[in-house]
Amino acid sequence: MLRTPTTSSARRTRDRILDAALELFNERGTAAVTTNHVAARAGISPGNLYYWFSDKDEIIRELYAGFAGAYEEMWSGDEADVMDVTPAELLRRLAAGAALSHRYAFLSRELLGLLHSDPVLAAEYAAVRERRTATFDALARRWRSAGVIRPLDDQGIADLIQALWVIAETWLALGELSGTSVESADGERLLRVVLEPYLLPARSEVTSR
Amino acid sequence: MLRTPTTSSARRTRDRILDAALELFNERGTAAVTTNHVAARAGISPGNLYYWFSDKDEIIRELYAGFAGAYEEMWSGDEADVMDVTPAELLRRLAAGAALSHRYAFLSRELLGLLHSDPVLAAEYAAVRERRTATFDALARRWRSAGVIRPLDDQGIADLIQALWVIAETWLALGELSGTSVESADGERLLRVVLEPYLLPARSEVTSR
DNA sequence: GTCTATATAATGATAGAC
DNA sequence: GTCTATCATTATATAGAC
């Protein structure tokens, strides 16, 4: 059962569990981490952990909620404001999400697998993704109307959005593999190589730097 | 210890283990599958499984080797032939890799996580990736010389390759989440939206369809 | 809320008979 | 090569004291 803290010391315990779990998941991956490990790292007893969370999956879901919430904040605000985002600003925000991805590194690596084995998590993810895709889609259509990007058909817009999304979600974890240190600039460059050719010269702000 | 089969009946057992493991990994994910499950599905005793493989990781590595080998075959042949690949042919091959990704679906979902927790696997992956990137890079430079694509600088070429790679590796697993059935054509479209704008009109074969 | 203690079950892995 | 039998270990989850 998902328990809500009632005192401030309790909140501290609950958060300590989440912090400990995040650390361990990032270090060793969720598969290699048990509830006992998390309790030990958090400095509490295994029994106490079960007072706050029913199992490991619930901890993972809670961590995902934290990630998703932070991500949504990046795109909250008046709908009008969001629709005023320029291509350059979009790339900046997508790449900025990398900082978040780095904090929740285990999600970058494992999310697809976790979604496959936890239907509850999959439902949460689908909701976030749908909202985000709708926003980006509307934004891209607006750019098209305003002559900011080449006149793609709706399918083309959807594909472009999806391509950017895939890269934004994956480049960090994939880049870590190559050994070389991974900079946020790398992600932005990768996104730009996809988006840039669709920008019409007159309005383009993304090439200026 | 990685044991090599000496008789044909043994090969059958060894392969049955690999087949059973692949099925289970694809269904439930590697984390939820134990050596006992694999043995049961393969119709052998747990003890027998340990005669052939030292642990689950070794089975995973062997499956990855099968995947990587099949992938490499797609790009084997005379270096000259590979260098004659057109952009349209490249997209076709990349998307064709989707069939392979589908057969080894668990790798599409979990590879990044598995690489993080198994250094041996990570080393194998790095080798494959390096070869593949070198091939694609050489191919793209050749296109540039031949006037098939826009005159990108070397960094631009590397970025373009990486963007295509990321999409080719991820679109299938990510697409499965959206619920709608995933077609190979979707992957090719996604790749095309990235590559197409870099093709110079005169030589372009990728837009014709 | 938090701990200790413990029940129950599953897992990884081995030894030895066939 | 393959099986049965088995063991030490570890994991999850709960009960009850504080």
Higher-pLDDT residue of B2 and A112 is: A112
Contact A174 B166 (CB under 8 A): yes
Architecture of domain B60-198: Orthogonal Bundle (1.10)
Contact B163 A162 (CB under 8 A): no
Residue A57, nucleotide of least CA–C1' distance? D12
CB atoms within 10 A of CB A39: 20
Residue B200 buriedness (CB in 10 A; 0-12 / 13-18 / 19+): middle
Mean pLDDT estimate for chain B: 91
Domain boundaries of chain B, sorted by first residue: 1-54, 60-198
* Band of residue A203 on the pLDDT scale cut at 50, 70, 90: very low
List, in sequence order, every residue forming a beta bridge with B149; answer none if it has no partner. Answer: B199
Å between A23 CA and D18 C1'? 31
Higher-pLDDT residue of A61 and B4 is: A61
In three-state secondary structure terms, A149 is strand
Assess whether the region B1-54 and the region B60-198 belong to the same CATH fold: no
Give strand C nucleotides closer than 7 A to any protein Cβ: 1-6, 10-16
Average pLDDT for residues A189-208, to the nearest whole number?
80
* Residues of chain A contacting B190 with CB distance shorter than 8 Å: 159, 162-163, 166
Distance in Å, alpha carbon of A21 to nearest chain B alpha carbon: 16
Q: Is pLDDT at B97 greater than 90 in this prediction?
A: no
Number of helical (H) and strand (E) elements in chain B, helices listed first: 10, 0
Residue A4: what pLDDT? Answer: 85
State percent of chain B over pLDDT 90: 72
Residues of B contacting chain A (CB within 8 angstroms): 28-32, 106, 108-110, 112-113, 115-117, 122, 125-126, 129, 155-156, 159-160, 162-163, 165-167, 169-171, 173-174, 177-179, 189-190, 192-194, 197-198
Å between A9 CA and D18 C1'? 18
Average pLDDT for residues A1-24, to the nearest whole number?
88
Residue B176: what pLDDT? Answer: 82
**pLDDT tens for each residue of A45-84:** 999 999 999 999 999 999 999 999 999 898 888 888 899 9
B100/A113 Cα distance (integer angstroms): 18
Residue A167: what pLDDT? Answer: 93
Residue A176: what pLDDT? Answer: 82
Q: Is pLDDT at B207 greater than 70 in this prediction?
A: no
Contact B162 A171 (CB under 8 A): yes
Q: Which residue has the tokens 């270090």?
A: A27
CATH number of the domain located at residue range(s) A56-198 in this protein? 1.10.357.10
Average pLDDT for residues B22-30, to the nearest whole number?
98
CATH number of the domain located at residue range(s) A1-54 in this protein? 1.10.10.60
φ and ψ at residue B57, rounded to 5 degrees: -55, -35
Quick one: tokens of A48? Answer: 């106490």
A88/A190 Cα distance (integer angstroms): 13
* Band of residue B138 on the pLDDT scale cut at 50, 70, 90: very high
Residue B53, nucleotide of least CA–C1' distance? C13
List, in sequence order, every residue forming a beta bridge with A199; answer none if it has no partner. Answer: A149
**pLDDT tens for each residue of A26-53:** 999 999 999 999 999 999 999 999 999 9
In three-state secondary structure terms, B199 is strand
Contact A162 B177 (CB under 8 A): no
Contact B116 A29 (CB under 8 A): yes
Q: Is pLDDT at A10 greater than 70 in this prediction?
A: no
Average pLDDT for residues A129-154, to the nearest whole number?
95
* Band of residue A107 on the pLDDT scale cut at 50, 70, 90: very high
Residue A209: what pLDDT? Answer: 45
Average pLDDT for residues B130-146, to the nearest whole number?
94
